[in-house]
Each structure stands twice: as structure tokens, then as C-alpha cells.
Amino acid sequence: MGIYSVTVLGNVEQCRTEAEISLDEQLVAVVYETSDGWHTEVIASQLTPSQDDFEIAVNTALQTLSHYVNRRGENPPRNATRETFALWLMMKDDGTAMGIPSKNGVRS
């Protein structure tokens, strides 16, 4: 039986912070929020572990993403480099981005 893992990343192309759900290192779903709510895109056509395990992974992704203050990608910084924009997407409500304290504090 496989184990789900959740990885959070700043998706510069889609202008959002998202959580990738993987099963045994294979991407199976992406969770993100837009102005019209939360979305889960299932990528794998066949999920063999239990539906309960998958729902737990999705809930974990939602809870994790809820701490990212710029997850929707709204009002991004102007003239930001790709790296600065990615870091902005990864800003958390505790004032850190990727585990590093922000020099400017939390900005949304």
C-alpha cells in the first residue's frame, strides 16, 4: 500500500501557491485556491489506495496551504523577478518563506 505525500510550491506560471499530492513519488493531484474557492485536480486516472487516505491527503494539503498568505497570487509585487515572485508566493502567516524569516514581515 502506498503512502501519500504533500509538497507545497510556488507556481509562478499559474500565479498561485499549490500543494502537489504524490503517491509513491508519482504526482496524483494538485490542490490550490482561487477567488472562487478551493480546487483539487486529480491527475492520476486510477487511485488504488483507499478513498479515505486520499481525502486525508487533500485535507492535509488544504490545512497546509491555508497558512500561505499569497496562495491565490492576487496583487503580486510589481516588477518582481521570477525568484522574488516565487518567494512571495511561499510567504506564510508566521512571517517566514520557505522556513526563512522575512526581512519585511508578512506582506499580502
Listed range (1-5, 20-24, 25-29, 84-88) with the worst mean pLDDT: 1-5
Asked if the model's pLDDT at residue 48 lies above 90, the reply is no
Contacts of 49 (CB under 8 A, 6+ apart): 1, 2, 4, 23
Asked if the model's pLDDT at residue 50 lies above 80, the reply is no
- φ/ψ region of 23 (left if φ > 0, alpha if ψ in -120 to 50, else beta) reads beta
Q: How many CB atoms lie within 10 A of CB 108?
A: 11
Helix (H) / strand (E) element for 65: namely: helix 51-65
pLDDT digits (tens, 9 = 90+) for 60-92: 999 999 999 999 999 999 999 999 999 999 999
pLDDT at 106: 43
pLDDT at 89: 96
On the 0-12 / 13-18 / 19+ scale of CB atoms within 10 A, 48 is: exposed
